[in-house]
Amino acid sequence: MKVLVTGANGQLGKCLQKQSKTTTGIEFLFETSQTLDITSEEALKTYFKEHQPDFCVNCAAYTNVEAAEDYENLAFLVNSEAVKSLSRLCKSYQTKLVHVSTDYVFDGLKLSPYLETDSENPINVYGASKLQGETMVSEHMDAFFILRTSWLYSEFGHNFFNTILKKAEDRAELNITTEQIGTPTNANDLAEFILNLITADSEAYGLYHYSNTGEATWYDFARLILEAKQLEKEVSLKATFSYPTKAKRPKFSVLNKTKVETTFETKIPHWRESLVGLLKEGE
């Protein structure tokens, strides 16, 4: 089986690279924005003609939520227009697509975890561009898995987890918001789920929510990082309700995982357990 992974230099792409080393029977094609620009339809056509992958995992995305407010055209180009081209080619070559989306397609006004059947209503450009990307997938092909995830972090790249660790090393004072409730998700867990999905060659296509279980504020997330690293006495961590940002964030964006857990008979780790596990792995 031949599996194309776009956006392979992002944190999810790097987690897939890490785990692919112990995955047998699959030829992985890890492509970065330098080696395969998904915003170029011609580049995609040439690539698919040459390689004809069985699966495509689309990790390529414009994910800077703040910058998307200023660069709306770029966000929609990467997160929607490019996804349309990719979906069309996947259908032409009978390539199954795993497309990664986000909890930010919701407005955050619900008080219980979001189901796949709940109405979307993004409140920022990033969320709107990702929702349009989902539409492009579902309109142009049938053999797809859309996986919405939330608050993704890992040991790779620029993310909240690594930012807190770096600031803790520098003994910087941390003011972290309690205004938003969601679920921190270890990208390694998502990568493992995706690889299992591919290995099983499942045909239970459709839209799914996948994040770690439980819920937290960003403050809770930061506090557990410091506690697990035994840095809570050395770093000043303060809770702040309001933290000004250019892009609006959903105040509540916990995802309901019942559908993915029952369909694929998978047990998803709690966010605290997964976070502590990653910190121990790095020691």
Active site residues: 126
> What is the C-alpha separation between 224 and 270, in angstroms, rounded?
13
**Amino acid at position 169, single letter:** E
> What is the C-alpha separation between 149 and 183, in angstroms, rounded?
9
What is the SS3 assignment for 52-105?
CCCEEEECCCCCCHHHHCCCHHHHHHHHHHHHHHHHHHHHHCCCEEEEEEEHHH
Alpha-carbon distances, residue 7 vs 62, 104, 156 (angstroms): 10, 20, 13
Cβ partners under 8 Å of residue 134, min gap 6: 99, 101, 105, 146, 207
